[in-house]
Amino acid sequence: MTDQLNINDMPLGGLRPTDILFKEMHDGTCSRCQEQIAEAEVPLLLWPEEDRGHTMYVFCNRCAWDPDSARCRKCGCTENQPCEDEEFGTCGWVAPDLCTCCARGRQLIATIAENSSRAEEWRHVFGGLEVPLKNQPPVISDGPYGIDLFYQADVERITPEQLDRAVDFLAKKFGLPADEVRDGVLHSEGIPIAARDITITTRPA
């Protein structure tokens, strides 16, 4: 049996842009730390008002009630003790364990899990399991399959061949003209990268 709480019953420290939304099916992991939740735990369940019944956040006890449970892997800052930058102010989060201050000026890299259902698509489009991302936090977006959490691929850092394959893949997947998709990728929508099953690392820009 689980506690069923409204989205207004926020986890301590509030929702983060990197918290994973589960769509209809929950795989037993925490939305924040992405670790398996113990069977004996009573997780915190939250439903976004705009998509009630279709998506939900699921938090383990540690992430739900301890705002300092997640620390930046680089500097050790937490929700209660964030970094302060003279130019950019208080830090945010670009990954569950990486703050915006530590990621600034570096290249974000997404690596998808080999056992992900999308791994073969990545191999086909990007030629492997990695893709460069824009250096910005993910956003919650209402896509073709409902609300989800997305990063953006850095189209300036992928090869022309990868861009061509991405345009072809998206055009076929959504039944759109390739020219329309290419224009959207380059000038507006970009290439959305769902946050599920990926790990974020950084490299020198």
Cα–Cα distance measured from residue 111 to residue 131, given in angstroms and rounded to the nearest whole number: 7
Residue 143's pLDDT band (cuts 50, 70, 90): low
pLDDT score of 10: 64
pLDDT score of 48: 75
Over residues 108-116, the mean pLDDT reads 94
Q: State pTM to two decimals.
A: 0.74
- Output the six-digit token pair for 166: 């991405």
CB atoms under 10 Å from CB of 78, counted, come to 17
Contact 201, 24 (CB under 8 A): no
More confident residue, 84 or 132: 132
Pick from 128, 134, 93: nearest CA to 111: 128
Is residue 71's pLDDT more than 70? yes
User: Phi, psi at residue 11, to the nearest 5°?
Assistant: -65, 150
Strand pairing category for 198-204 and 3-4: unpaired
Over residues 63-81, the mean pLDDT reads 85
